[in-house]
Chain A
Amino acid sequence: MKETIKNTTVADRLLFLFLISISIAGIFISRDALSHNPDVVIEMDGKPAYTLPLYADRLLSVDGPYGDTLIEIKEGKVRVKEPHCPNQLCAKEGWISKGVIVCLPNKLVIIVGGSKKDQQPGLDAITG
């Protein structure tokens, strides 16, 4: 076996190093690219109404029983800018980059970076 390892060609070794480094880099790149792209999910009345990227700034107005609520997405953070509800707890929560803002009177839930595992079905089959 030692002899075999010694007898490998330069191309063999380069190919091995190339494959190992590419796949290790790939593990980090794919993990990085997928985990840093959380979505903002806005649920109204218990149903998902909007799914927006967290890294695209925008203002959004949603309708509720107590009137419009203005939601602001900016630089990877979300807040409720102008609520029209009795105690305005949602606005007091301020900017969040992860977690949930709830406005009970307006039946509004804003979820940032929800766990993707819940949305994705696992593998269907494994080869035998």
Chain B
Amino acid sequence: MQLQDKRRIAILSAYALALHGFESLLPTPIPWFKPGLANIITLVALILYGFRTALMVTLIRVVLASIFLGTFLGPAFILSAGGGIASVVAMGLTIKAFKNIFGAVGISLIGALFHNIAQLSLAYFLFIQRLEPVLIISPLILLIGALTGVVNGIISDILIKNLLKKDREKIQNTGV
């Protein structure tokens, strides 16, 4: 791994961690309502720098956030890690399999969907083990996930475009 990659991963992880921490401070009107802001950073990392960078950023974010929040290796950590990894893998595969069919918004939706599917199945198999409550909650969580997924996708898209524009300007300046 090159030094530049390491630096990139460190910076992105710091951003993701900050967003994750900020999100955990927000009051939640509905218990399962979490906007998943850290996914913005994951998506930017995935589209600009590739799958491995995005996976590293997610792992670092999940582990460090759980240590800071005091949930390391607890149920919340398992759900958070499972959801995070599932969404990175799903988004990475989507980019690979359907190049140029989905934009940032579509990939963000896929990420939100698989994040929720992974969390719900983990919650069912490990903690709740009753189908009824999971079935009642699932559609609601998926609906919220679709809405926040779109918002995150739009933010990511704007971020990516601005980053690319800055990169281009930099190249032009050094070229002259």
Interface residue ranges, A against B (CB under 8 Å): 1, 4-5, 7-9, 11-12, 15-16, 19-20, 22-27, 29-31, 34, 120, 123-128
Residues of chain B from 122 to 170 with CB closer than 8 A to chain A in the complex: 127-128, 130, 132-133, 135-136, 138-140, 142-143, 145-147, 149-150, 153-154, 157-158, 161
Chain A residues near B71 (CB-CB < 8 A): 128
Q: Do residues B102 and A11 form an inter-chain contact, with CB atoms below 8 A?
A: yes
Count of chain B residues with a beta carbon within 8 Å of a chain A beta carbon? 44
Interface, chain B (partner A; CB < 8 A):
24, 31-32, 34, 69, 71, 75-76, 79-80, 98, 100-106, 109-110, 113, 119, 127-128, 130, 132-133, 135-136, 138-140, 142-143, 145-147, 149-150, 153-154, 157-158, 161
Q: Is the CB of A20 within 8 A of B75?
A: no
Task: Please measure, in the bound complex, the distance between the C-alpha atom of A5 and the C-alpha atom of B103, giving whole angstroms.
Answer: 10
Q: Are A12 and B158 in contact (CB-based, < 8 A)?
A: no
A-B contact count (CB 8 A): 99
Tell me whether B158 and A128 are in contact (CB under 8 A): no
Cβ of B139: which chain A residues have Cβ within 8 Å of it?
Answer: 22-27, 29-30
Give the chain B neighbours of A16 by CB distance below 8 A. 105-106, 109, 146, 150
Minimum Cβ distance to chain B for residue A115 (Å)? 14
CA distance A27 to B113 in the complex (A): 16
**Mind listing 19 A-B residue pairs with CB under 8 Å?**
A8-B105, A9-B101, A9-B103, A12-B103, A16-B150, A19-B113, A19-B146, A20-B143, A25-B139, A27-B139, A27-B140, A30-B136, A34-B132, A120-B133, A123-B133, A124-B128, A125-B76, A126-B31, A128-B69
